[in-house]
Amino acid sequence: MMFRGIRLLRAVPKLDYFHFHKLCFALSIFLCAASVVSLTTRGLNFGVDFAGGIMIEARKSTPVDLPDVRAKLNNLNLGDISLQEFGAPTDILIRVQSQGAEAAEMAAVQKIRETLGTEYRYERVEVVGPKVGAELIRNGILAVVLALSGIMAYMAFRFGWRAGLSGVVAILHDCLTTVGLFSVLDLQFDLNTVAAVVTIAGFSINDTVVIDDRIRENTRLYKSMDFRELINLSVNQTMARTVMTNGLVLLATLALLIFGGPLLFGLAFALLWGVIAGTYSTIYVAAPLEWYLAARGRAHRADGAAEEAATRP
């Protein structure tokens, strides 16, 4: 017997995604504005990677008693200390805020070693200075900017400048609201989160490319169809694929968030929001914006043709 695969939807839905597009535009503008305000006023809770500090990865032959170790380290008065299990119950990752001068950093490392004792083997000891943290921030911003520029160039080359612009606007929406959410909730922002933001950009454009490719195909098939209806048709035709793909990614991200532990919480949380925001922005931001740009282009060409006809003798 031939296996025909699984069909999530037996028929193509006929939903009008433009019905609430103005409300969605307003919601997106509000989320982006709130993100900008929070980033401007509150800033980000930078982790050791960016703010500078001490990072120690230690291993013990027996499972580590985290509350006991945390109490001992807090008695050292070294400021903010983050302690978490790293991989196995016998491994711990210690993050300590910056102590200022290099001599103070090394003294803090020595205090931690003496407090933990000889039962631990130190796999990694890193001291990140403020200059290194500032350089990492610049490199992180540069990575995101280069990723967005490359995506926009690809979209413009393959589908035209309107698709490229609308796709990048949707990606900016997803990345900005992700970073803004970390600012609003005061979650730790580190290199893992930067990796998540770049991943969100790639994930968001994936849906946009699929829909734009279907729009291009339908443009050839339905040459007389109104562009708004054609976009609706294209989104409906790809809806089953969107639900299945994004739904599976959402389940995997939820599992990572629940079982990944504190070390992966920021990464998993950012990806979870990115999946939701990316699906929303592709349908309710990128697609309607492309229609607006196309309608404006047609109106501009019509006005130009009318002016040219009026000036003819």
Fold of the domain built from segment(s) 21-44+132-300? Multidrug efflux transporter AcrB transmembrane fold (1.20.1640)
Name which of 28, 87, 98 is nearest 57 in CA terms.
Answer: 87
What is the model's pLDDT at position 296? 56
What is the model's pLDDT at position 294? 78
Q: Euclidean distance between the first and final Cα of the chain, in Å?
A: 73
H-assigned helices in the chain? 21-41, 48-51, 66-74, 102-116, 130-159, 161-184, 191-221, 227-237, 239-259, 265-281, 287-311
What is the model's pLDDT at position 194? 83
Query: Rounded to an integer, what distance in angstroms lies between the CA atom of residue 249 and that of residue 243?
Result: 10
% of the chain residues with pLDDT over 70: 87
Report the Cα 273 to chain-centroid distance in Å. Answer: 7
Task: Calculate mean pLDDT across residues 244-266.
Answer: 85
In degrees rounded to 5, what are phi and psi of residue 176? Answer: -65, -45
Query: Rounded to an integer, what distance in angstroms lies between the CA atom of residue 47 and that of residue 191?
Result: 8
What is the model's pLDDT at position 310? 41
Residue type, 291: W
What is the model's pLDDT at position 297? 43
Q: Identify the CATH assignment for 53-128 out of 3.30.43.10, 2.60.40.10, 3.40.50.1370, 3.30.70.3400.
A: 3.30.70.3400
Q: Count other Cβ atoms within 10 Å, centred on residue 7.
A: 9
What's the pLDDT band for 29 if we cut at 50, 70, 90? very high
Spans of all domains in the chain:
21-44+132-300, 53-128
Mean pLDDT taken over the chain? 80
Task: Calculate mean pLDDT across residues 209-213.
Answer: 85
HEC assignment per residue over 199-229 = HHHHHHHHHHHHHHHHHHHHHHHCCCCCHHH
The model's pTM is 0.75
The two three-digit tokens of residue 160, written as one number: 């035209």
DSSP-derived letter for residue 283 is: I
Instruction: Please write the tens of the pLDDT for every residue from 114-166.
Output: 888 888 888 888 777 666 667 777 887 787 788 778 877 887 788 778 888 88
Decide if 144 contacts 197 (C-beta within 8 A).
yes
**Is the pLDDT score of 37 beyond 90?**
yes
Task: Calculate mean pLDDT across residues 164-171.
Answer: 86
